[in-house]
């Protein structure tokens, strides 16, 4: 069965380079984590397609769970669990977990946590 098309991620809205990551405080603050990392932000187009492909480097694993970081409205990287399909050369198919209208966070994601603030600088 052919689905309406392929969802490709192409458009870089902005690239953000922030100073080197701040050292994580020993006693985490009571409300939110304050780890800020250099990240790229890229946007999907909203589409009606059911097949979504994302760049491989946006895919992370947290606690053994595959996922991506989605930019939230309040400017944070929020972890989203995904089910991966086929791995292509630079992309990976997402079978479930993304709606197609999300903005993904990418770059050096090793120290990005669920809830890390992300600063977007328009290119």
Partner 1 sequence: MARHKTSDVPGNGNDLNLAGRTARYFINSKLTLLIMLFAFLAGVFAFLVTPREENPRIIVPAANIFVQKPGASPEEIQQLILKPLEAILQGLAGIDHTFGLAMNSQGVVSVQFRVGQDKEDSLVKLYDRIMSNIDRMPPGTLQPLIKPADVDDVPILTISLSCAAADDCHLRRVANTVLEHLRRVEGTSLSYVHGGRRRAINVSLDLERMHAYNVSLADIRRVVDATNVEIPSGAFVGGNRVATVQAGGLLKTASDVGNLVVALAAHRPVYLKQVAMITDGPEDIERAHRIGYGPAHAGPRPADFEVPAVTLALAKRAGTNAVTVAENVLAELERLKPLLIPPEVHVNITRNDGAKANDAVNTLMEHLAIAIGTVVVLLVIFLGWRAASIVTITIPLILFITLAVGLIAGQSINRITLFALILSLGLLVDDSIVVIENIFRHYTRESADRLRQAVEAVNEIGKPTNLATLTVILAFLPMFWVTGMMGPYMAPIPFNVPVAMITSLIIAYTVAPWAAYRFLHVHGQEGEGLEHHGPGWLERGYGALLRRLLDSSLARRGFFLGVIVLMLAVLTMPVFDMVLFKMLPKNNTNTFNVTLDMPEGTTLEETDRVSRLAGDVLRQHPQVETYETSVGESGVIDFNGLLRGAGLKSGSHVAEIRVNLRNKHERRDSSIDIVLDLRPPLAELAKLTGASIKLVEDPPGPPVRATLLAELYGPDYRELRKIASELRTAVFKKTEDVVDVDDSVTDDYTEYHIVVNREKAMLVGITPSQVAETLRAFLAGVDAGMVHLEFEKEPVPIRFRVPAGDRTGPSDLSKVFFISPQGRRVPLIDIARVDSHVTPKPILHKDQYPVVYVTGELARTSQVYAVLKMWNYLSDNPLPSGVKLQQYFLTDPETTGYGLRWDGEMRLTLDVFRDLGSAFAVAIILIYLVLVGYYRSFAIPLIVMGAIPLTVVGVLPGHAVMGQYFTATSMIGVIALAGIVVRNSLLLIDFILEYRRAGHGLDEAVLQAGITRLRPILLTAFAIILGTFIMIFDPVFGGLAVSLIYGTFASTVLTLLVIPLIYFLYEKRRDVAASATSD
The CA-atom distances, in angstroms, between 11 and each of 34, 44, 103 are 28, 7, 10
**Selected binder of partner 1 within 43, 57, 80, 120 (CB under 8 A):** 80
- C-alpha triplet 73, 4, 99: angle, nearest 5°: 20
Is 105 a binding residue for partner 1 by CB under 8 A? The answer is no
3-class state of residue 57 by DSSP: helix
Part of the chain binding partner 1 (CB under 8 A), chosen from 5-13, 15-23, 36-44, 76-84: 76-84
For the window 24-53, what string marks contact with partner 1 as x by the rule CB under 8 A? x--xx-xxxx-x---------------x--
DSSP state of 58: G
Which burial class, exposed, middle or buried, applies to 14 when counting CB atoms under 10 A from its CB (0-12, 13-18, 19+)? middle
Q: Based on CB atoms, which residue is closest to partner 1, 13 or 95?
A: 95
Contact present, 36 and 23 (Cβ < 8 Å): no
Is 108 a binding residue for partner 1 by CB under 8 A? The answer is no
Minimum separation from the CB atom of position 106 to partner 1 (A): 18
The residues that touch partner 1, with contacts defined as CB under 8 A, are 1, 24, 27-28, 30-33, 35, 51, 61-66, 78-87, 93, 95-97, 113-116
């Amino acid at each position: 069965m052919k689905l309406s098309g392929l969802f490709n991620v192409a458009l870089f809205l902005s690239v953000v380079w922030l100073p080197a990551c701040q050292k994580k405080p020993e006693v985490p603050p009571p409300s939110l984590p304050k780890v800020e990392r250099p990240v790229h932000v890229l946007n999907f187009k909203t589409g009606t397609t059911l097949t979504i492909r994302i760049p491989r480097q946006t895919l992370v694993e947290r606690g053994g769970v595959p996922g991506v970081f989605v930019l939230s409205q309040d400017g944070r990287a929020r972890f989203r669990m995904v089910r991966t399909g086929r791995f292509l050369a630079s992309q990976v198919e997402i079978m479930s977990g993304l709606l197609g209208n999300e903005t993904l966070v990418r770059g050096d994601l090793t120290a990005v946590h669920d809830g890390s603030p992300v600063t977007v600088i328009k290119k």
